[in-house]
Each structure stands twice: as structure tokens, then as C-alpha cells.
Amino acid sequence: MTICSSEEIIDEFELLTRDARRVQQDTLRKILELNGDAEYLNRFNLGRRTDSKSFKSCIPLCVHSDIESYIQRIADGDDSPVLTGKPITSLSLSSGTTQGKPKFLPFNDELLESTFQIFRTSYAFRNREYPIVNGKALQFVYGSKQVFTQGGILAATATTNLYRSQRFKEAMKDVMTQCCSPDEVIFGPDFHQSLYCHLLCGLINSDEVQFVFSPFAHSLVHAFHSLEEVWEDLCADIRDGVLSKRVTAPSIRQAVSKILRPNPELASSIYIKCQSLSNWYGVIPTLWPNVKYIYGIMTGSMEPYLKKLRHYAGHLPLLSADYGASEGWVGSNINPTLPPEEVTYAVLPNIAYFEFIPLEKPKWEETEICSSVHYIESEPVGLTEVEVGKIYEVVITNFAGLYRYRLGDIVKIAGFHNATPELQFICRRSLVLSVNIDKNTEKDLQLAVEAAEKLLAAEKLEVVDFTSLVDRSSEPGHYVIFWELSSDDGASEDVLSGCASCMDLAFADAGYVGSRKTQTIGALELRVLRKGAFAQVMNHYLSLGGAVSQFKTPRFVSQSNSKVLQILSRNVTRSYFSTAYGL
């Protein structure tokens, strides 16, 4: 049933969350009834039982490597009930930036339905606070190539599966604001040409645009950084009504040329506004005066881009989009007025069956939440059994064949909405940096970079992006942090050397501090990259079949990822070692 009004959607959400425990049991029962013939479930002798007690006692917790062989069989054309009762007909590709290469994940109609529900729910709450009426959206969304596996299964990124789905377009037309750009731009063969035309279409419709969106904050920052470089060309296109020669893809040229008409008055207005901007502060409300908010995922690995995004957004609020992963959705942002750093996500109890692994710090570990990975695990608890203020790892069982799958996400329970918890995303649990007995996560790395970045203020410089490496080419091994700065000039040797020492001291993990003092870990090294280095890294991942909408800069590069290491190495301009610890 299609629910048209925001109030009806909210009423349905309230009904589900009031009885979250029962809804969870019903959801698990439905999943197991649909997939009772699955080979994976029968391997553990579940015997078509559908109660949670039997499910938890028979089926073990798992990670991707535990089910990779099953997914590969599906990709190779096995249409027997491997993971699900009905054959899987398409696969999603993860971004590939966490493990260094994309991974296959099963995708089916049930996951599509959960996407509808997540989007409708968040839209309803968002629209109650920031009503959108007959407007358009400047959306920086990009499809990737669709490929067929050896077994004839369609595989694409999760966002591509979504935006290419006719069912998605039809089901969401009552809540999806019209995109300024035609589909030919979204699914264009070249990302740079698509980005240019997204900006152009947005400017042509500048008075109608009511919000700006991209799946990730990174692609929003990238888009407006690109605007700084191409705005004069965009003005020329609008003035003359002729599309720039930089756009060569026939499908894009044809579609955008139908929209483009000579408009000297608009071109002149945009030109004057761009010239008047001070360092591009507030460019979004300046060029799109009716925009009410900026929307996209802004937590986790996207947090480092918030400072620059706020610079472009000026007074406009940043709204963090919903919480999910390539494996499936978890919750909606039903408190859209909260800033991204404080955003919470209410779990929808009928889109999957959820468990939470309690994580506690040992008594000797007194550092901040997620400042290390020294956790004591307890037995998983159910959705309604979590406790406010405690931290957990999320476990998901979905309709597409993932059973008790550890997402690797650490969350804090911020409170409850009715009987369903509201989660605050803390970080990925995956280990990033370790040489000896040290264990530092992506969050630790982010905090270290932020501490050192403060030293750049006097130089009027920013860290554009960063990643890391464990270098064991000499003894002892040491951390290497790669920085791309906002300018190739200006930073003094003393300041950058101080940044290296600051980051070294910022890693508070006891194993790291102790190892540095005993010289079993060497001095941290800061390697400065020339501008554009991380754009080359992104282009590499896009060449593997990824979509820029789904791209996340890898915060750790392993020695086995030779291509990315080559890109980083050839762009190093300067190197500085920490002088901390007096060693």
C-alpha cells in the first residue's frame, strides 16, 4: 500500500516502534519462513524452526569471509537455495575502500522494500521540520557500470541498483523531490562530465532548488570544490546556451542540450555572485537562495569533511542521512534538527532482525569510547534489550541471506523512541593501525589528524584528505600518515614537523604509547602529498567499477594494495618524522 502523506508515514512508524519486540519476532519468523530451504541455514540444523531461541542457538555469528564462498556460488550461476529460498538475481558491490577491493553482497526485492521504508520515514520527519513544496533538488548522484558475473548475475553498486530501479522511481515519486539533472547525467559514462552537468543543471534551476543532496559528504565537498574551478565555464554555457566542449559523452550532451537555453541575465547574476564571494564561503545559499538544507551521510569516515562543507553551506543546516551499509539498512534520522555530530538513528524493527554485541572497556582502559579496540564482548542481546549509554556492535539478519552478520559498526544507545533504540554511530570497529601490541582505529586516526590540523591555522591551510600506512620496511615499524593540504605552498618546515610530533602524541592507546617508549615502534612519519593525489586515488577505485556517490577515502592502505601505494608514493613532496618521546 502506498502511503502518501507524511503524517500517515509517521503514524505507521509510531505503531511499529511501540511494539518493537513483537515486530522483531515477527520479522525473524518471516525471514526464516521465506528462506527455510536455504543451504546455509540447513548446514547448522535449524530445521525450519523460526523462533529466536532456536535461531541463536543454531546459527553462529559471521563476517563476510564466512559466507563469501556461498555468494561466489551465486555469482557463478548457482540458482539453488544457497542463502535464500528464492534465487538471488542481482548483487550489490561494496565501495571496496574498507578491504581494498569491492565485495559482492546479495540484493533482492525485500532489500528494495526496506529502502523504500527508510527513505519514506526519514523524509516524513525531515519534511515536517523543513517543508519542501513543488521544488527541485540539486542531487550529486552517480551510477556505476552494471556488470554481469560469470553466472549471468547482474552486479552493481547499491546506489546504482537503487537509482536504476523503475520500482524505486514509481514507489518513491510521492516523497522524492525532482532532481535537476536528467538520468543521462546520473548514469553518464564519465564522472567528471556528469559532475559538470549536475552543477550546470542546478544553476539553470537555481531559484527552484530547495535542498542539496549526495549520498556522502565527501562527494558534496568535491562538487563545490569543482565549482570553484569551473564556474566561469558554467557561466559561459548559460550565457550562450551552448554546452562546453569538455562534455563529450553523446548521451549527456544530448540530454543537457535540451535543457540549456541562452540566458545572459542569469549568467551575469551568477558571475557577479561568484566574484563577490569571500573564499567561497556560503556559496550554496548565495547561488541557490531557496535551499533549506544540505543532506547526506555525514558520520563516521565523513566527519572530516564537515568543516569544509559548513564553509560552503554558510548558515544552512547540515542534515545527516540515514544509517545503513551495503549489507542493508538499520535506522532513520527522525531528529533532523540535530547537527551531524549528535545525530541519532531510530531502528526500524520490521526491516531486519537486529542483535547487539555488548562491548565494555576493561578496567585498565580509561580512554574515550572507540579510542582503541580493547573491548570485552558479551553475548548478543535483542533490539529492545539494549541499555541507554552503553556501546554495542551491530549484528543484522536480513531478507537477502545474511544471518547474524556482524556489520563491524560500533554504536552508542542514545535513548529510545517508544520501544526502539536510537543509535549514535561511533565508528567502524575494524583495526586500522597496528605494528606491535598497539591497536588504533579509524576514529583514533581522525582524532590525531584533527589535533595536528590545529597547528596549520596560522598558515591558513587545511588538510584536504588523509590516509595511513604501517611501514615495516625497516625496524622498528612505524606509522605513516599521508596528508594532502589545501595548498602546495605556505606550510613551514617547523610547523609540519610539529604536526608529525602532535599526531604521534595524540595516539593514546596504551599499547602504542608503551611501544613508542620502548622503541618497539618507530617515530611517526608525516608524508605530504601534492594537490590532486586523492583525486587520483578516487579515480582508481572508480575504475574498479565503483560509483563516486559511494566512494570513501580509505583511511588505511595495506602493503598489498600496490596500486594505491604507487599513487601515494609518486605524489609525496615532503616527509617529516616525529621528535616526540625524545627518541
Task: Count Cβ neighbours within 10 Å for each residue of 18-43 and write b for 16 or more, e otherwise.
Answer: eebeebbbebbbebbeebbebebbee
pLDDT for 449: 92
Q: Which residues pair with 345 in a beta bridge?
A: 423
pLDDT tens for 224-247 read: 999 999 999 999 999 999 999 999
What local confidence, expressed as pLDDT, does residue 561 receive? Answer: 78
- According to DSSP, the β-strands at 478-485 and 463-471 are antiparallel
Collapse the DSSP code of 137 into the 3-class scheme (helix H, G, I; strand E, B; otherwise coil) and give the result: strand
Percent of the chain past pLDDT 70, that is, above it, reads: 90
Q: What value does the mean pLDDT take over residues 66-74?
A: 92
Q: Residue 366 pLDDT > 50, yes or no?
A: no
DSSP designation for 440: E
CB atoms within 10 A of CB 8: 14
Which of these, 139, 198, 127, lies nearest to 163 by C-alpha position? Answer: 139
Per-residue pLDDT tens over the stretch 392-442: 999 999 999 999 999 989 999 999 999 999 999 987 777 678 887 778 888
Q: Determine the average pLDDT of the residues in 335-349.
A: 94
Residue recorded with cell 555469528 = 61
Q: Taking a C-beta distance cutoff of 8 angstroms, is the pair 54, 46 a contact?
A: yes
Residue 491 has pLDDT above 50, yes or no: yes
Per-residue model confidence (pLDDT) at position 426: 85
Query: Quick one: pLDDT at residue 161?
Result: 67
Cα distances (Å, whole numbers) of residue 367 to 299, 311, 327, 340 = 21, 31, 31, 23
Q: What is the pTM of this model?
A: 0.83
CB-CB neighbours of 277 under 10 Å: 15
Q: Which of 107, 198, 212, 229 is nearest to 157 (CA)?
A: 107
Mean pLDDT of the residues in the chain = 87
Tens-digit pLDDT profile for residues 500-549:
999 999 998 777 888 888 788 889 999 999 998 998 988 887 777 666 66
Task: Kindly give the interhelix angle for 6-18 and 20-34, rounded to the nearest 10 degrees.
Answer: 90
Report the side by side order of strands in the sheet with 572-577: 463-471, 478-485, 525-529, 572-577
Cell numbers given for 166:
523503475
What is the CA 364 to chain-centroid distance, rounded?
Answer: 33
DSSP state for residue 209 in the 8-state scheme: E
Measure the CA–CA gap between 42 and 39, rounded to whole angstroms: 5
For residue range 146-180, what is the model confidence (pLDDT) as tens digits? Answer: 778 888 887 777 677 666 666 666 655 655 568 88
Backbone angles phi, psi at 293, to 5 degrees: -165, 165
Radius of gyration of the chain (CA): 24
The per-residue pLDDT for 509 is 79
pLDDT in tens, 106-120: 888 888 888 888 988
